[in-house]
Amino acid sequence: GDSVTQMEGPVTLSEEAFLTINCTYTATGYPSLFWYVQYPGEGLQLLLKATKADDKGSNKGFEATYRKETTSFHLEKGSVQVSDSAVYFCALSGSGGSYIPTFGRGTSLIVHP
């Protein structure tokens, strides 16, 4: 079946540091790929998406590129802020025609001033 693997957290950074959160996947067909962010006590919010190979999703300084050859969708940001502290989830959907998305376990990011 489909799966999404994210790097384990927590990831702890100082403000203005460079962020990478790794995400790799296995899936049938050509799924869409997503990054979601969850702040404490809230639901998940879509951060960015990519629907086909080599697409780059971007939002609020975050970027991720859909790499079919390496089955990866790593999240990056050039300079993190304290307000970026949250849990980040990588996910895929549409694989093999399924309506059921597959989520990674989430990576907690803690940014210190």
Partner 1 sequence: DGGITQSPKYLFRKEGQNVTLSCEQNLNHDAMYWYRQDPGQGLRLIYYSQIVNDFQKGDIAEGYSVSREKKESFPLTVTSAQKNPTAFYLCASSIDKNQPQHFGDGTRLSIL
CB of 23 to partner 1, least distance (A): 13
Are 40 and 91 a contacting pair, CB within 8 Å?
Answer: no
- From candidates 28, 46, 56, 59, binder to partner 1 by CB under 8 A: 46
Which residue blocks in 1-113 are alpha helix, DSSP H?
Answer: none
Beta-carbon count within 10 A of 32 CB: 17
Nearer to partner 1, 91 or 111 (CB): 91
User: Is residue 37 part of the contact set for partner 1 (CB under 8 A)?
Assistant: no
CB of 33 to partner 1, least distance (A): 10
Binding positions for partner 1, 92-111, rule CB under 8 A: 93-94, 97-101, 103-106
User: Is residue 85 part of the contact set for partner 1 (CB under 8 A)?
Assistant: no
Say which residues have a Cβ less than 8 Å from residue 41's Cβ, sequence separation at least 6: none
CA 101 to CA 78: how far, in whole Å? 28
